[in-house]
Structure 1
Amino acid sequence: MPLPDKNQIEAKAHLLPILRAAMRALEAEDYVQAENLLDSILQQDADFADALHLKGYAALRRGDLAKARQLVERAIEIDFHFENYHLTLGHIRLAEGDRQGARDSFGAAIVLNAALPDPYIGLAHIFMADGALDAAIGALGTARQKHPKHPEVNYLLGFVLMAQGKAKDAMIFFGRALQSAPNDTRYRLGFARSLHGLRLKKPDPALLATTLPLLGTPGVEPRDLASIIESAIQLDPTFTILAPIDAMPAANVAKVLAAPQCPDPASSDAFAEWLAHGLVMHPAIARRLMALRRGLLHLAVHDPAVLDRYSRLLGLIAIRNFQAEYIDQSRADERALLQQLDTRLAEADPASAAPLFAVYATYHPLYRRPDHARLAAAAWPAAFADLHRIQLLEPLQEKTIAAAMPALTPVDDATSRSVQDMYEESPFPRWHQPILNSPLTVPVRLRSALPLQTIPAGSITNPQVLIAGCGTGLHAILAASSYYDARVLAIDLSRASLAYGKRKADELGITNVEFAQADILKIGSIDRRFDVIESFGVLHHLRDPAAGLAQLVTLLKPDGYMMLGLYSEVGRRDVVAARELIARHGYSDNPEDVRRFRNDLPRLAPDLAARLARSSAFHTLSDLRDLVFHRQEHRYTPQQLRSLISGAGLEFLGFEFSTPKPLAQYQARFPDDPTATDLDNWALVEAENPDLFANCYRFWVRRRA
């Protein structure tokens, strides 16, 4: 936010250092410090327009919209001709839901300084909220003519083009934004999403050099990069030259690996980075990994000296298989070799036998070995430091955390205990890097999620947030960074899942989340009330979802909001078909049967297998178990959602989508429903777009007064 021309404040030059300090505090999101500094200026000069404006901006960021408007309008009265004042007023009006007023303010800013990109960005946000995507592109195009390298302009152009289904065009603009600001999480995420499904037909080193650094960075989903990276791997000569080993028995694979001219697969950057941070989805790459694993196992038993050449490969396969929870089946000859290796490892020292332990870790996790304490305490070679951390230190730390996890309610419902047992064995989901958002106030967060609703400004400060069914903590950590000055309580049935979340929160320095064990069916007994409750993908696993929702409603303050995620009957049609196959053929939900079902599915139902394999959930054991083997599942239609919501005394506010496209299409089809809350209409939309809610219905409700 630039300072005015020095000539305008010559008489106030002694206040300039304080003003600059306040601006630095605002940039650091330290609004209390900023307002204290600005108050010290206004005590000396009550009509210092820049101080009034900046204090109004701080109030906007804190969510005090009434105060923000008062301060910024006063600044405009004093100095109408400074475009930034109008720009801030436009954002205040937009946050208040006054789109026409915001449009007027952004227009005034353009009149005062047509070269400024920010008011065009503001107009684009209004057009996107209105579903007018072409108009948004027009506003952003005007800004880009003046500022072709402006990262936010390029990012928003990519965002709108993605909403129009133009991923290749979006990729260009996301790439430009990322080039200008390579550390911006949103730009990385946008670029990654634009690559979803893109396969290389020939090597493209430049695109791969931009893509690989995205792996392992906050918010980037490996599934978005799977097609491009896995196609790059299959084009790599290091990969293609080893194709014959896929069908070989262990002894023959070992001979190939022992040959001096055999290339190290880990020398391929794409292959190595994908094993370290990605999610193997292509069957050809999965077959190669299984072949390499059995060959390395044979070497471990019969010629272990060769393994020294493959230290990096061993560590990477062991880490990948651990993260996928050993989803790949092993053969009978491998199991016999593994028994021999296990015997050899009983007294072995990791300092000298780390490659042998790494081979074992490609089949079973080290922390579940009887001698895990000895292995955790040992000194491991640097080449296997990540394996030591991931397979020993972190899981054992989680066991300690789980043992000390507080319990808010008993877990004695039979269905709850069954579900709890499932997640104790398979904590879900395993995740690595979250998106840490810039915090928003509750009304601003709601307006972002529900652009067609009028959300009152309210006066919620220090919001109390409940994440009901937090799993392994990703949702809770996201909420902790999404709500300004919030305190978050995250509950779940599974201590193992909670421990994973607590460890990750501690690693990330997230201090405003409290984790505790509780059953939603009993949670109404706690003596706490919440401004916001979020429960995504949880209630449909309860014995009685309506009873669980009733418990949550008792904890919601009268002016509180709730976000729910529930399975769609239409969206889960492939899952229903898979569950019918599982029941018909008698598969249980133990890990070995989950692997066996996955292996058998292409033979039992090839088309269904192909569709399910496109989901990332098909490629890790806990995800697949959660997807098709869950012990308790309810599904809904839009009309059934209405009954559930009204029965709980709640008001439906609308569905939340990650792009503006679904709401824009709805508005075009049903212009007489400006808030997009008619669930009968949504039933028609879903019937025509059966994958619209394939993940879940994600929607917001409000407690009726």
Structure 2
Amino acid sequence: MNEELRRHYERWVYPRYPLAASIPPWDTYALNLDALYARFNGALPGSHARRILLAGCGSFSPYPTSLANPGVSITALDLSAANLRRARLHCFLHGRFGIDFQRGDILDPVAAQGEYGFIDSFGVIHHLADPLEGVRALERRLAPGGILRLMVYSRGARRGAESIRTALRLLKIGDVAAIKGLIRRAPEGSRFRRYVDASSEAAFDAGIADAFLHPRTRTYRIDEFMALVGDTGLTPLMFAHDGALPPVTEEVSRLRRLEGGGEETPNFILYLGRQPIGGCGPASDARLMLNPALRQAVGCLRLAPVVVVPRLGRRNPRLGFAEKRFLRRFISPVAVASLNPQELERARPFLDALFLVAFR
């Protein structure tokens, strides 16, 4: 177990969202196992893959993941007992039960044993001494066809934070109270003040500690990240950060151009698969069903549109009355062959957004 990381998160529970913080179920659509597995395999997961692992779950992610996947086995793994206590309490207060909370290290083969259809490791591997070893440990836990979501810090997105971390080390400032004092005294318009004013993390102590005092962080240029992924047996499937282009190769080229021009890049979010079969899309022998996480949204008869936050890097279709009425048809699976050309064309944006799921 990485003792230095464990001590950090025992002291600084992260993220420190209020226990009353809730999210609508339909905002969890990008965490739904059925939708993700079918997107890249053209089939719903079998019993061997109907398990989810949150690898480095922190204090919050078990709650939205359980909202998105009622009845699915979820393992929440984290180094920190404090993070797990907070995550368990948050779930309890919002009526989410049946989650297996485990304290442990993703590098430990005894922890979170078995195979999983979806593993979420958001903002974790860039804190490991050997990130490649961490990704390979997760790869070994993926069922055939399983999906892994990784988020890592990009060099461009973390430029400001890393320069502040360097300055704090040189000044030998290593506690949150001292940093908060610097923030209060920072002149308006200074680089430091501009950064903290724009950062949601700087609004709370655990966020300040995570951004500026974390014992180990690593940032990646896009070619470095893709080289890391290339040293595994996993297949890159789709980037999901803000502004991402759907084809992986095109998004890598776009990010490379941004880096070459010295422009800011988002932190990288990438879905990877273990031996993915490939999605079936709206093939003539496929069926379409509504993403289970959206059932409450489309079942709502009110006229006001439902706002669904983009989670795949691009804008979502609106969900007004007409859209909800159309999607309501797919609460039970509908054969593609039964749709006329106009209906099929209308369904395509919802398939792209993961609102509809295509499978055989």
Fold-level match, TM-score > 0.5?
Answer: yes
- Residue 561 (1) aligns with residue 147 (2): yes
The match for 2:35 is: 444
Largest Rg, 1 or 2: 1
**Partner letter of residue 503 of structure 1?**
L
Once the two structures are superposed, the pairs formed by residues 243-642 of structure 1 within 5 Å of their partners are 411=1, 416-432=2-18, 433-438=21-26, 442-445=33-36, 455-461=41-47, 463-472=50-59, 474-483=60-69, 485-523=71-109, 526-588=112-174, 590-602=175-187, 606-642=190-226
RMSD: 2.6
Higher relative contact order (CA 8 A, sep 6+): 2
Bigger share in strand? 2
Q: Is the 8 A contact 2:53 2:120 kept in 1?
A: yes
**Partner letter of residue 625 of structure 1?**
A
**Partner letter of residue 123 of structure 2?**
G
SS in 1 for 2:61: helix
Q: CA separation of 1:469/1:675 partners in 2, compared to 1, >3 Å: closer, same or farther?
A: closer
Q: CA separation of 1:456/1:676 partners in 2, compared to 1, >3 Å: closer, same or farther?
A: farther
Residue 492 of structure 1 and its aligned partner are, at CA, apart by: 0.9
Q: Is the 8 A contact 1:524 1:554 kept in 2?
A: no
Q: Is the 8 A contact 2:236 2:272 kept in 1?
A: yes
**Partner letter of residue 22 of structure 2?**
P
The match for 1:114 is: none
Q: Is the 8 A contact 1:428 1:622 kept in 2?
A: yes
1:701 to 272, 278, 288: 272
Residue 595 of structure 1 and its aligned partner are, at CA, apart by: 2.6
2:255 to 682, 693, 697: 682
Residue 688 of structure 1 and its aligned partner are, at CA, apart by: 5.4
- Residues 314-360 of structure 1 show CA distances to partners (whole Å, capped at 9, x for unaligned) of xxxxxxxxxxxxxxxxxxxxxxxxxxxxxxxxxxxxxxxxxxxxxxx
Q: CA separation of 1:454/1:525 partners in 2, compared to 1, >3 Å: closer, same or farther?
A: closer
| Ranges in structure 2 where 5+ consecutive residues have no aligned partner | 277-360
In 2, Cα distance between equivalents of 1:446 and 1:608: 43
The match for 1:253 is: none
The match for 1:214 is: none
SS in 2 for 1:570: coil
In 2, Cα distance between equivalents of 1:642 and 1:657: 15
Q: CA separation of 1:634/1:524 partners in 2, compared to 1, >3 Å: closer, same or farther?
A: farther
Q: CA separation of 1:584/1:477 partners in 2, compared to 1, >3 Å: closer, same or farther?
A: same
Q: CA separation of 1:467/1:595 partners in 2, compared to 1, >3 Å: closer, same or farther?
A: same
Q: CA separation of 1:601/1:628 partners in 2, compared to 1, >3 Å: closer, same or farther?
A: farther
Once the two structures are superposed, the pairs formed by residues 27-42 of structure 1 within 5 Å of their partners are none
Q: State how many pairs are aligned.
A: 270
Q: CA separation of 1:417/1:597 partners in 2, compared to 1, >3 Å: closer, same or farther?
A: farther
Q: CA separation of 1:543/1:615 partners in 2, compared to 1, >3 Å: closer, same or farther?
A: same
The match for 1:653 is: 237
Structure 1 runs of 4+ aligned residues shifted over 6 Å read none
In 2, Cα distance between equivalents of 1:564 and 1:489: 17
Q: Is the 8 A contact 1:571 1:690 kept in 2?
A: no
- Residues 625-680 of structure 1 show CA distances to partners (whole Å, capped at 9, x for unaligned) of 1011111001111111111111121111121146xxx24xx47xxxxxx5555524
Q: Is the 8 A contact 1:480 1:510 kept in 2?
A: yes
SS in 1 for 2:107: helix
- Residues 349-397 of structure 1 show CA distances to partners (whole Å, capped at 9, x for unaligned) of xxxxxxxxxxxxxxxxxxxxxxxxxxxxxxxxxxxxxxxxxxxxxxxxx
Q: CA separation of 1:601/1:455 partners in 2, compared to 1, >3 Å: closer, same or farther?
A: farther
**Partner letter of residue 699 of structure 1?**
L
Q: CA separation of 1:489/1:633 partners in 2, compared to 1, >3 Å: closer, same or farther?
A: same
**Partner letter of residue 650 of structure 1?**
L
Q: Is the 8 A contact 2:239 2:251 kept in 1?
A: no
| Ranges in structure 1 where 5+ consecutive residues have no aligned partner | 1-410, 448-452, 668-673
Q: TM-score, normalised by structure 1?
A: 0.36
In 2, Cα distance between equivalents of 1:443 and 1:429: 27
SS in 2 for 1:467: strand
In 2, Cα distance between equivalents of 1:682 and 1:610: 24
Q: CA separation of 1:446/1:687 partners in 2, compared to 1, >3 Å: closer, same or farther?
A: farther
Q: CA separation of 1:501/1:607 partners in 2, compared to 1, >3 Å: closer, same or farther?
A: same
Identity of aligned residues (%): 21
SS in 2 for 1:428: coil
Q: CA separation of 1:675/1:569 partners in 2, compared to 1, >3 Å: closer, same or farther?
A: closer
Residue 524 of structure 1 and its aligned partner are, at CA, apart by: 5.7
Residue 578 of structure 1 and its aligned partner are, at CA, apart by: 0.2
- Residues 532-585 of structure 1 show CA distances to partners (whole Å, capped at 9, x for unaligned) of 100001111111111111111111112100001100011110011101210121
**Partner letter of residue 81 of structure 2?**
R
Q: Is the 8 A contact 1:468 1:491 kept in 2?
A: yes
SS in 2 for 1:649: coil
- Residues 94-145 of structure 1 show CA distances to partners (whole Å, capped at 9, x for unaligned) of xxxxxxxxxxxxxxxxxxxxxxxxxxxxxxxxxxxxxxxxxxxxxxxxxxxx
Q: Is the 8 A contact 2:105 2:111 kept in 1?
A: no
Q: Is the 8 A contact 2:63 2:91 kept in 1?
A: yes
Residue 468 of structure 1 and its aligned partner are, at CA, apart by: 0.7
In 2, Cα distance between equivalents of 1:418 and 1:455: 39
The match for 1:75 is: none
**Partner letter of residue 177 of structure 2?**
E
SS in 1 for 2:25: coil
Residue 610 of structure 1 and its aligned partner are, at CA, apart by: 1.5
Residue 685 of structure 1 and its aligned partner are, at CA, apart by: 4.0
Residue 457 of structure 1 and its aligned partner are, at CA, apart by: 2.3
